[in-house]
Structure 1
């Protein structure tokens, strides 16, 4: 599985690298009042992508702050267990299978 993950990453890298090599010609961006900016096309695409990512994070920031203010000090997921598990009815006791769990892989997949 790890080999396939690295193979996919390499394929994406080479596709993006080929895109950059095919778009080395100079492009110009015309602004107001006669201002003109010239740069390679791949650089312009990279700058626009980065600006979009920054804009997306900044647009989500107020919502993150609002959510953090609503739950100060509360953990995100808490499971409440009964004080005396023997007092629970038999139907409420979870059944745990006897199958051992496999250890997680090193890359988290």
Structure 2
């Protein structure tokens, strides 16, 4: 199974590398106030994907932290309940 996973990773890497090589032509991104950024198309696509991932993680960070705190509280409560139910304790 591990060999199959590495084979799949290799195929995906080769496909993405080929896509990056074929799309290495420069593109212009025009911003407000006459700002222009020239970069290879593959880099622009990668930057857009990374920016989207960062924005998505930032948007869910509050929920993740809140769930982690709730999980810690529930674990403490469950441990206290187990401690109460143990026989031989006074």
Taking structure 2 as the reference length, the TM-score comes to 0.76
Once superposed, what is the RMSD of the aligned Cα atoms?
2.2
Aligned to 2:24, the other structure's residue is in SS state: coil
Shift of 1:65: 2.1
Gaps of 5+ in 1: 85-109
Normalised by the size of structure 1, how large is the TM-score? 0.64
Q: How far 1:72 moved relative to its partner?
A: 3.5
Instruction: Show the counterpart of 1:37.
Output: 37
Aligned residue-pair number: 80
Residue matched to 2:54: 54
- The farther-off stretch of 65-74 and 37-46 is 65-74
Q: Which runs of 4+ in 1 moved over 4 A?
A: none
More helix by share: 2
